[in-house]
Amino acid sequence: MKTEEKIKYIRSRVSNLLNDNETSRQELDELKNNIAGLCEHFGAEEIVDLGVKLLRLERERDEALEDLENYRAASIHSCHDNCKRPMCVLRRERDAAQEEQAEVASLREKIKRIKTQLHAVMWHIEK
């Protein structure tokens, strides 16, 4: 296999490994060996260890972020009036908006009744 073909193969393999959550240690070691052969050809063996460490760190980071998100979603929360959690803030804003809508609807009904009464009074005055 030519060097350029080997580089293309390794690049596609790295891409597949990064996208696969079930990548095994054996696959990572195989990738390491392939990259090692290429790096020997170009004289840069330390790149291998750094590349594999990078792959592992990226996976660990992604797992940690997912765990953190799950923890936040599942955590028990006792809310208070000044809670800053986004969902709590949105809930308070929603509740306030619903109260204001109910008040506006009530005021519209009052205005409608007053208009009806004014029309009745004006009708009697005009006669």
Answer yes or no: do 64 and 120 share one domain.
Answer: no
One domain for residues 93 and 113? yes
Together in a domain, 62 and 90: no
| pLDDT tens-digit map of 30-85 | 777 776 676 666 656 566 666 777 778 888 888 888 888 877 776 667 778 888 88
Same domain, 34 and 91: no
65 and 82 share one domain: no
Residues 54, 98 share a domain: no
Q: What is the pTM of this model?
A: 0.36
Per the structure, the count of domains in the chain is: 2
In SS3 terms, the chain reads as CCHHHHHHHHHHHHHHHHHCCCCCHHHHHHHHHHHHHHHHHHCCCHHHHHHHHHHHHHHHHHHHHHHHHHHHHHCCCCCCCCCCCHHHHHHHHHHHHHHHHHHHHHHHHHHHHHHHHHHHHHHHHHC
Residue 106 is part of which domain span? 78-127
Q: Are residues 43 and 87 in the same domain?
A: no
